[in-house]
Amino acid sequence: QFPFGRRLPCDIYWHGVSFHDNDIFSGQVNKFPGMTEMVRKITLSRAVRTMQDLFPLEYNFYPRSWILPEEFPLFVAEVRMMKDSDPSWKPTFIVKPDGGCQGDGIYLIKDPSDIRLTGSIQSRPAVVQEYICKPLLVDKLKFDIRLYVLLKSLEPLEIYIAKDGLSRFCTEPYQEPTLKNLHQVFMHLTNYSLNIHSGNFIHSDNVNTGSKRTFSSILCRLSSRGADVKKLWSDIISLVIKTIIALTPELKVYYQSDIPAGKPGPTCFQILGFDILLMKNLKPMLLEVNANPSMRIEHEQELSPGVFENVPSPVDEEVKVAVIRDTLRLVDPQKKKRKDVQVLRVIAFSIQYHNLVHGMKDKQHKHHSLKLSLKLKFYLKLGSFQALEPVSEANEELLDADRPEYDAPRSPEAGLPSLCLKQVFPKYAKQFNYLRLVDRVAALFIRFLGVKGTTKLGPTGFRTFIRNCKLSNSSFSMASVDILYIDITRRWNSMGVDHKESGMCLQAFVEAFFCLAQKKYKSLPLHEQVASLIDFCEYHLAVLDEKRLVCGRG
């Protein structure tokens, strides 16, 4: 531990809370710049809402939410409208202060007029959300799931999900919300930090019982009741991938600002905690994402009144140790080195094989080449190339640099349990890539940010974007461009998102982009309008780059 910093470079830096060290020039850091800001309740709701505007069906795993105070009038109006159209609808809402955690300041209401407006909203922005009234119950109790997700890389996107997680139980039997029970936190909120204070909390050494269990134990129970556990897992995987797809555009803006491309800097990875609630019909709903999930494997026990002791918690240990161990295995710098050598060996081997097949015709050589080809297939299948013979002097030299590691035990991973982290992206990229529209809008935004280190676009940058992408014409003059810029930027800045820099933030740019897309491609659905405008812009920028390249050569 280096609480006051460390000068010697490291392979891996493990920061406690968030990415905070701009003096790291190499290695890997366990936090992404901007992640803490991105998963705050308001920012996450906004990012998901943008995706819901584009793909409402794909993003219906997040409860309908409104941002307070700015959307309070909208919240009141929409609820009134929905009640008018369906008088039998008796909703409950949950109000969550922005930046809060561990259930802090959360309360339930039945009507928008119950929001505690007395000063608190103005001083503390919040999200108000439709309350999921019919959660899945186990032993008559409400519970949520904490799943660990490794974002291994942002570009290219690499996501892993831990095969097991935690289920955190309420400590009072669940009843659907009524005015009488709304305030009963042990019935409605699953936070461990709250329920631990209930007299009913059960610490158990068994992962199948108690107030904190493994998720796999719940799955076993569901499966024995005949539930389609495979479908549940695939819904959870898709929820995780879609949520990360909603977060990546802004994360990329933060990333280029803290770690500019082309300058020495670390790469980042991060373990995220996903909080998920299962509905009665087994549909998983996203509650929130935690950028700094607790990795404690102990809990406090009161030995005698006022005397506490930390004792091991087998459930936490079972899940969390595996997550940290496998994260380190996946980001292991030595592993990358070994992989590179494996690739070199395959290339060298393939060259030898190619030479043999094409260069020699006699029977003996043909036989030899057949043997080589079988061997190559075998090694490729095995994923291990240790037994490959050295093939040429040059290659031998390259390989020898790492020989000691190679000749050591078969693999440093031998003897370790199989990975608990399962890759889901790029594995399932094909199914989800069509959702990554805002990512492409963010790439345009970043291109026009100009000076590195900023996260906001100035008026000149916006004008250059319009001009280079050939978006202005007789019906959309440069004066209208300026008005669009000023209108949207002013509104976003008045929402108090970030006053540190002036200019247009990514969310404001996305709004302006959607506006332009709607104007240009009137009759299409929004996601097609946006996709068409992105194609249009990317095409004109590619033509421009090509021209510049030719001019440069000239």
Binding site for ligand ADP (CB under 6 A): 63, 94, 96, 100-104, 106, 129, 131-132, 144, 189-191, 275, 277, 287-288
* Nearest approach, Cβ of residue 117 and ligand ADP (Å): 21
For ligand ADP, which is the closer residue by CB, 103 or 265? Answer: 103
Closer of 44 and 241 to ligand ADP (Cβ): 44
Q: How far is the CB of 88 from ligand ADP (least distance, A)?
A: 20
Kindly state the smallest distance separating residue 246's Cβ from ligand ADP, in Å: 16
Nearer to ligand ADP, 112 or 461 (CB): 112
Cα→Cα distances 480→457, 465, 472, 477, 512, Å: 17, 14, 9, 5, 12
Could you tell me the two tokens for 517? 């897309």
Nearer to ligand ADP among residue 93 and residue 254 (C-beta): 93
Q: Which is nearer to ligand ADP, 160 or 192 (CB)?
A: 192
Residue with tokens 């994260």: 327
> What is the smallest separation between the CB atom of 60 and ligand ADP, expressed in angstroms?
13
Complete DSSP assignment for 191-239? -HHHHTTSTT----SSTTSSSEEEHHHHHHHHHHTT--HHHHHHHHHHH
Spatial distance between the Cα atoms of 549 and 544, rounded to a whole number of angstroms: 9
DSSP run (H or E) holding 149? strand 141-153
Q: Is the dihedral of CA 58, 469, 515, 508 positive or negative?
A: positive
Nearer to ligand ADP, 133 or 356 (CB): 133
* Residue type at position 504: M
Torsion angle of the four alpha carbons 362, 364, 370, 375, in this order, in degrees rounded to the nearest 10: -140
**How far apart are the two ends of the chain, measured CA to CA in Å?**
55
- DSSP symbols for 313-381: -HHHHHHHHHHHHHHHHHH-HHHHHHHHHHHHHHHHHHHHHHHHHHH--SHHHHHHHHHHHHHHHHHHH
User: Minimum distance from CB of 443 to ligand ADP (Å)?
Assistant: 31
Around 33, how many Cα atoms within 13 Å sit in the side-chain half-sphere? 20
Nearest distance from C-beta of residue 78 to ligand ADP, angstroms: 16
Q: How far is the CB of 62 from ligand ADP (least distance, A)?
A: 9
CB nearer to ligand ADP: pick between 131 and 379: 131
- The residue assigned the tokens 């631990």 is 196
Nearer to ligand ADP, 152 or 213 (CB): 213
Cβ atoms of residues 48 and 67 within 8 Å: no
* Residue 535: other Cβ atoms inside 10 A: 11
Minimum CB separation from ligand ADP for residue 97, in Å? 8
